[in-house]
């Protein structure tokens, strides 16, 4: 009776989102986690971000991480940047460049994260798209931050999100072409299953040829419910974070509370017959490793409760 | 575009499920929490259980709790029992008797919790129904434990759950009448949104006149996703537990890991336009009180991250 997709891709964001807040983590620990994650069946791992180290000292070792991680067939090791300078730094490393643009539906979030208004941030993406083109690279992803709301503006209406995306896609078109996929990012965890449904349905109606993905946070415990809403609509690509890393939802860190947990999302998918290609036991091991590295409990459940099994609960 | 119910009832299970595992909690703390919960808009609070104190010493003060909690108009204070002796104890207290029967789809769980086979447990319910009738009480609820699986038998097929319910309803009919509502209880947190959907759809198809409710646990982080699946089908009654009390999911306590969290479920409902009649701020206060009483972090999110608001995150 299920009309869920038969297969989804879960992309790992933990090493970037998980290590960009809180105390800095030794480079060797980051590399160790990334290498372990690369053995779990993940097709893409976001390893680091090439951002200004004065603002994000936790990512000051981006080049060192990029130089140390082990390439593995079938696993794409990527990174994030926010501007041309970051892109050029990334391009000089062995990591695979995944050309992206971003916008923020929240003006407050754009000013806090990108130092300019939301409208200016959209305009700035034109230079990035042109730069990708100069390097013979095709734009892959467009990220729509605060797609469902933010901690300053509260809930954001889908109409505003679509209007922001419209202006971003226009800039992309003018400078080189449309992205292969658009991510709706629930940056602070403001979405509900119904707001996910509304936004995806309306976006598809507006751009029927465009692929959409979800980048969800579990700030308010609705992460998997929101993912389920996406699955019901046939969304087949999700960002997630091992152990649910990415800020600490238990510290009132609303702005950066944890991503939806990779292994818990994978478990839900697999148990509903949606193939992920992921090794749940290996992911649970990685989650325990991540927990040991950050030195505090992470919200992921699978690593603690294991899978249901005959005879006893297994340890995943 | 929502086809969710306009209103749901969330019944509070925390004082019973939350305090029945782990170290015993002072009676005065239990009473204090129940009195606070009674001021949040909750229509029903499960205060304690009249079970054998040799097996569940944490509930040895059931009579004392029942005698101490403050009655309040519009708030029904109820309790649980597992057999005739427990019912008669409850009946002698000021708590409101809510006549119920129960069965377990899992034989292993029946033997562990009730000391008999699943089939024998069903047969035993006849005596309870007859006893309720002798006291002029109508059967209210039938609880189907391990409706989606258990930690020993793993996932349980909906067909087996429906067959168990069929035999329970037959016993009810023979001894006095059908229950007003049937709870599918995800006792160990084995459900997925799809298994919730399948069971509710098939149960309704089999018994179109019967009302169904959900008693969910959040063992694997799918609690709200499972609740959303229920909401989509128009389920309008849910059990939940303040702060997500009810065993500790972070201690590998698979058999009793926390119920779906009252205030987080209420938040999801309210934000999707489903009225709960609950005061979220007051619930968050109760969750903090519950956390202080048990002396360990509870999984509930709202009390930590607050609601999205203009200007800043509020503290709910």
pLDDT score of B9 more than 80: yes
Q: Which residues of A touch B311 (CB under 8 A)?
A: 152
Domains, chain A: 1-98+241-316 (3.20.20.70), 99-235 (3.20.20.70)
Share of chain B above pLDDT 70, in %: 93
| 8 Å CB contact of A252 and B190 | no
Q: Are A252 and B305 in contact (CB < 8 Å)?
A: yes
Check B221 against A220: CB less than 8 A apart.
no
- Listed in sequence order, the DSSP H helices in B115-157 are 118-134
Instruction: For residues A183 and A44, give the distance between their C-alpha atoms in angstroms, rounded to a whole number.
Output: 15
pLDDT computed for residue A2 by the predictor: 63
Q: Is B6 on the interface with A (CB under 8 A)?
A: no
- Going by their DSSP bridges, the two strands A154-155 and A149-150 should be labelled as antiparallel
Asked whether the beta carbons of residue B1 and residue A197 sit closer than 8 angstroms, the reply is yes
Interface of A with B in 90-149 (CB under 8 A): 149
Q: How far apart are CA A294 and CA B299, in angstroms?
A: 19
What pLDDT is stored for residue A309 in this prediction?
Answer: 60
Contacts of B313 in chain A (CB under 8 A): 151, 252, 254
Report H helices in A21-83: 27-37, 62-68
Dump pLDDT digits (tens) for B89-140: 999 999 999 999 999 999 999 998 889 999 999 999 999 999 999 999 999 9
Asked if A65 and A31 touch (Cβ cutoff 8 Å), the reply is yes
Torsion of CA B271, B277, B281, B282, to 10 degrees: -160
Q: Does B271 touch chain A (CB under 8 A)?
A: yes
N-to-C CA span, chain B? 27
Interchain CB contact of A254 with B (< 8 Å): yes
Residue B248 appears among annotated catalytic residues: yes
Selected residues 153-192 of chain B with any CB under 8 Å from a CB in chain A: 153-155, 188-190, 192
Provide the b/e sequence for A22-61 (b: ≥16 CB within 10 Å).
beebebebbbbbbbbbbebbbebbbbbbbbeeeebebbeb
One-letter-per-residue 3-state SS of B207-261: CCCCEEEEECECCCCCHHHHHHHHHHCCCCEEEEEHHHCCCCHHHCCHHHCCECE
Average pLDDT in chain B: 92
Do the Cβ atoms of A222 and A192 come closer than 8 Å? yes
- Cα-based torsion angle of the residue sequence B225, A253, A125, A100 in order, rounded to the nearest 10 degrees: -50
Q: Per the CB < 8 Å rule, is A220 touching B305?
A: yes
The contacts of residue A139 (CB under 8 Å, 6+ apart) are: A99, A100, A101, A129, A132, A172, A176, A177, A178, A179, A180
SS3 A131: helix
CB contact under 8 A, A2 and B264: no
Of B221, B267, B272, nearest to A301 by CB-CB distance is B221
Indicate if the alpha-carbon torsion angle A115, A117, A118, A120 is positive or negative.
negative
Chain-chain contact of B155 with A305 (C-beta, under 8 angstroms): no
CA distance to partner chain A, nearest, from residue B69 (Å): 31
3 state DSSP class of B66: helix
Question: Does the beta carbon of B202 lie under 8 angstroms from any beta carbon of chain A?
Answer: no
A271 touches chain B (CB under 8 A): yes
Instruction: Tell if the CB–CB gap between A221 and B219 is shorter than 8 Å.
Output: no
Chain A residues whose CB is inside 8 A of the B109 CB are none
Indicate the SS3 state at residue A212: strand
Distance CA B92, CA B97 (A): 10
Beta bridge partners of B11: B239
Query: Of B308, B186, B310, nearest to B259 (Cα)?
Result: B186
In the prediction, which pLDDT does B3 show?
86
- Single out the catalytic residue among B47, B150, B172, B248: B248
Cβ distance B224 to A221 less than 8 Å, yes or no, reads yes
Order of strands, sheet of A76-81, starting from the edge strand that comes earlier in the sequence: A76-81, A44-50, A9-12, A237-240, A211-215, A181-185, A141-145, A100-104
Contact B194 A4 (CB under 8 A): yes
Residue of A nearest to B196 (CA): A272
More confident residue, B73 or A251: B73
Helices (H), chain A: 27-37, 62-68, 84-91, 107-114, 118-134, 158-175, 193-206, 223-232, 262-271, 280-294, 302-305
Collapsed DSSP state (helix, strand, coil) of residue B72:
strand
- Which uninterrupted H or E stretch holds A144? strand A141-145
Element (H, E) at B141: strand B141-145
**The pLDDT value given to residue B117:** 96
Q: What is the pLDDT of residue A257?
A: 67
Kindly report the length of chain B. 316
Q: Return the residue of A nearest to B301 by Cα.
A: A220
One-character DSSP codes across A107-127: HHHHHHHHSS-HHHHHHHHHH
Between B148 and B251, the higher pLDDT residue: B148
Q: Are A147 and A186 in contact (CB under 8 A)?
A: yes
Interface-testing mutation among B6, B222, B314, with chain A (most A C-beta atoms within 10 A) = B222
Sign of the C-alpha dihedral computed for residues A275, A281, A282 and A286 taken in this order:
positive
Which residues of chain A make contact with B302, given a CB cutoff of 8 A?
Answer: 220
Contact B244, B298 (CB under 8 A): yes
pLDDT digits (tens, 9 = 90+) for A69-98: 999 999 999 999 999 999 999 999 999 999
CB interface of A with B, residues 14-53, below 8 Å = none
Our measurement of the distance from residue B148's CA atom to the centroid of its chain's CA atoms, rounded to an integer in Å, reads: 15
Q: Which residues of chain A have pLDDT under 70?
A: 1-2, 247-257, 309-316
Chain segment A145-174, per-residue pLDDT in tens: 999 999 888 999 999 999 999 999 999 999
Residue B42 and residue A101: Cα distance in Å, rounded? 47
> Residue A275, Cβ neighbours under 10 Å: how many?
12
Exactly one of A103, A248, A261, A269 is catalytic; name it: A248
Chain B residues lying within 8 Å of A225, measured CB to CB: 193, 224-225, 227-228, 268
Which candidate from B197, B301, B312 shows the least CB-CB separation from A219? B301
In A, minimum Cα distance to B251 occurs at A304
Contacts of B73 (CB under 8 A, 6+ apart): none
Residue of chain A whose Cα is closest to the Cα of B243: A221
Other CB atoms within 10 Å distance of the CB of residue A151: 28
Closest CA of chain A from B26, distance in Å: 27
Query: CA gyration radius for chain B?
Result: 18
Distance, in Å, from the CA atom of B155 to the CA atom of B173, rounded to the nearest integer, reads 29
Q: Can you tell me the distance from the alpha carbon of B215 to that of B186, in angstroms, rounded to the nearest whole number?
A: 6
Q: What is the pLDDT at residue A253?
A: 45
The Cα of A191 is separated from the nearest Cα of chain B by a number of Å equal to 9
State how far the Cα of B130 lies from the Cα of B141, in Å rounded to an integer. Answer: 14
Residue B311 has a CB neighbour count (10 Å cut-off) of 10
Q: Which of A204, A220, A233, A259 should we substitute to test contact with B (largest number of B Cβ atoms within 10 Å)?
A: A220
Contacts of A205 in chain B (CB under 8 A): none
Task: Report the residue from A1, A257, A309 with minimal CB separation from B305.
Answer: A257
Residues of B whose CB is below 8 A from A197:
1
pLDDT band at B152 (very low <50, low <70, confident <90, very high): confident
Q: What is the pLDDT of residues B240-291, one digit of tens each?
A: 999 999 864 333 444 346 899 999 999 999 999 999 999 999 999 999 999 9
pLDDT digits (tens, 9 = 90+) for A282-293: 999 999 999 999
Q: What is the pLDDT of residue A82?
A: 94
Are A224 and B229 within 8 A, CB to CB?
no
Decide if A260 contacts A13 (C-beta within 8 A): no
Closest chain A C-alpha to B232 CA, distance in angstroms = 10
């Amino acid at each position: 009776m299920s009309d869920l997709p038969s297969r989804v891709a879960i992309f790992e964001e933990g090493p970037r989102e998980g290590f960009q807040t809180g105390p800095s983590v030794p480079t060797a620990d980051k590399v160790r986690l990334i290498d372990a994650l690369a053995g779990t069946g993940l097709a893409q791992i976001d390893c680091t971000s090439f951002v200004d180290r004065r603002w994000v000292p936790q990512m000051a070792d981006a080049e060192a991480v990029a130089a140390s991680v082990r390439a593995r067939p079938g696993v794409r090791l990527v990174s994030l940047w926010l501007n041309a300078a970051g892109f050029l730094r990334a391009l000089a490393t062995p990591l695979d460049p995944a050309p992206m643009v971003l916008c923020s539906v929240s003006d407050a979030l754009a000013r806090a994260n990108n130092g300019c208004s939301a409208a200016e941030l959209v305009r700035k993406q034109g230079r990035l798209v042109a730069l990708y083109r100069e390097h013979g690279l095709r734009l892959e992803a467009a990220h729509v931050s605060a797609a469902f709301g933010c901690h300053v503006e509260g809930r954001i209406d889908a109409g505003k999100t679509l209007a922001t995306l419209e202006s971003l896609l226009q800039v992309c078109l003018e400078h080189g072409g449309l992205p292969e996929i658009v991510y709706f990012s629930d940056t602070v965890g403001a979405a509900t299953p119904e707001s996910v449904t509304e936004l995806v349905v309306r976006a598809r109606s507006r751009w029927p040829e465009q692929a959409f993905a979800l980048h969800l946070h579990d700030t308010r415990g609705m992460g998997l419910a929101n993912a389920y809403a996406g699955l019901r609509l046939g969304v087949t690509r999700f960002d997630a974070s091992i152990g649910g890393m990415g800020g600490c939802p238990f510290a009132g860190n609303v702005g950066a509370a944890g991503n939806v947990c990779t292994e818990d999302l994978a478990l839900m998918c697999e148990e509903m017959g949606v193939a992920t290609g992921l090794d749940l036991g290996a992911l649970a091991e990685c989650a325990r490793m991540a927990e040991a590295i950050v030195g505090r409990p992470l919200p992921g459940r699978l690593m603690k409760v294991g899978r249901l099994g005959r005879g006893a609960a297994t340890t995943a």
